[in-house]
Amino acid sequence: MTGWSLGDVMSGWSRTCVWSLLAVAIGSAAPPVSAQTPPRNPQRSRAIAQQGPQPTGKGSDAQTGKVPTTLIQLELLTGPEANSLKAADWQKACEERKISCTIRRGLQDDQPGVIEKKRGDSFRQVTVVGRLEKTGRLIFPDRTFAPGESKRLAEWLDELKTYGAQGTPEGQRLWGLTEKQFTSVMETLAAPLAIETEEVPLADVLAGFRFSPTHPLRWTTQAEKKRSEVDLSAPCAQSVRGFTQGTALALVLAEMGLGFRPRRQPDGSIDLAVVDLDEAQHVWPIGWYRSIPPDKVAPSLFVFREIHFSDIDIPGALAASTAVTGIQVLVDRANLRAKEIDLASHEVDFPLRKTTWAQAYDRLLSKATCKYELLIDEAGKPFVWVTSLQTPNRKP
């Protein structure tokens, strides 16, 4: 098995594998993955890959669309034990901050929550429903406010006024995206990269990516500054041709000290923001942890065969493994460079023995205080990821 198609990702994986990949990458729980669902739309990835050049993204720190006019309505539900004085305190605090607030007896079907209704593209109404306890504490699905915290409540409601019911993406799990939004981003990033990258100038490599106009690539001001300090005429050191654009872009940018991540704007649009790794966390990963057994993902790595070589450096041995197994090896060059690890400076010998390449990697890479993980790209294509021993595993 050499990998799953975009159709697998966006149909069978839409509720399991897609969320499993993302959740494992940034440390949240997710359901197990099934790789049995057949592709439903094999033409879609080709269509994405054939789209025209992406926008330049200049001035991308600013909002890119018009934010709808937003009306916030606050409803506080009370029970039979309601404290009228506490309720009056909250209502007065809301009036002082010009917040529309209604306090009423909660019905059996009433539940706290945040509901958004849109009227065209220019107006939206956000209704915030909370429960007012007799102690005066306000209870919402994901937060609480104690008596006297009207300023903190107002700040949250201002956030909802700017971003709508989803609130600001900052600090939220999964980049603040819904499943539907993430699926749309994944469709863009699961398209294959058609160009060769190895020994190709970085400027040409970056120009070879093609993203959907729905999710354009935009550079933050700090990322543009760092890009200006990079020699873009220098060649890319690794080949990521045939990998998905998400994994390929993450790897190319990482070697420049950059990364990218989905960014939800106040108007609801989502772009792909290139960021400086010195300032940003939780960027899009270079590959994903596979939650099915490794011998099912890349069986050729677990076939016993005679392996033997001598007086060869580690990159040469890794290249030999790819020629035999068909599984490409990608190297965490930025991480190894930071730790002053040079794989090419280590010559290795491997006496003739019958073993698997999965076992051989452990022996080879230990010579350079490195290790490997078997990861997959956004379309399920497996690859061997070589990094330092100190790097945490992707395994949950």
Give me the pLDDT at residue 52, please. Answer: 35
Contact 33, 296 (CB under 8 A): no
Q: How far apart are the first and last CA of the chain?
A: 24
More confident call, 120 vs 302: 302
Which one has a higher pLDDT value, 64 or 219?
Answer: 219
How far is Cα 176 from Cα 328, in angstroms, rounded to an integer?
33
The pLDDT assigned to 6 comes to 35
Does the pLDDT of residue 19 top 70, yes or no? no
Report pLDDT digits (tens) over 73-129. Answer: 999 999 888 888 888 999 898 888 888 899 999 888 899 999 989 887 788 899 999
Q: Which two tokens stand for residue 387?
A: 């990094």
pLDDT, position 61? 56
Burial category of 76 from C-beta neighbours within 10 Å (exposed 0-12, middle 13-18, buried 19 and up): buried
| pLDDT tens profile 368-378 | 999 999 999 99
Q: Do 217 and 209 form a contact (C-beta atoms < 8 A)? A: yes
Confidence of residue 62 (pLDDT cuts 50, 70, 90): low
The amino acid at 68: P
pLDDT in tens, 244-270: 999 999 999 999 999 999 999 888 899
Which residues are within 8 A (CB) of 49 and not within 5 positions of it... i.e. 6 or more apart?
Answer: 191, 192, 194, 210, 245
* Mean pLDDT score, 183-200: 93
pLDDT attached to residue 27: 38
Parallel/antiparallel/unpaired status of strands 217-219 and 270-276: parallel
- Residue 299 tokens, joined: 């069986």
- pLDDT higher than 90, residue 297: yes
Pairing mode of beta strands 123-132, 69-78: parallel
Cα–Cα distance, 36 to 12 (Å, whole number): 8
* Contacts (Cβ under 8 Å, ≥6 apart) of 26: 173, 174, 282
Q: What is the pLDDT of residue 63?
A: 54
Q: Is residue 54 pLDDT above 90, yes or no? A: no
In which band, very low, low, confident or very high, does the pLDDT at 31 lie, cut at 50, 70 and 90? very low
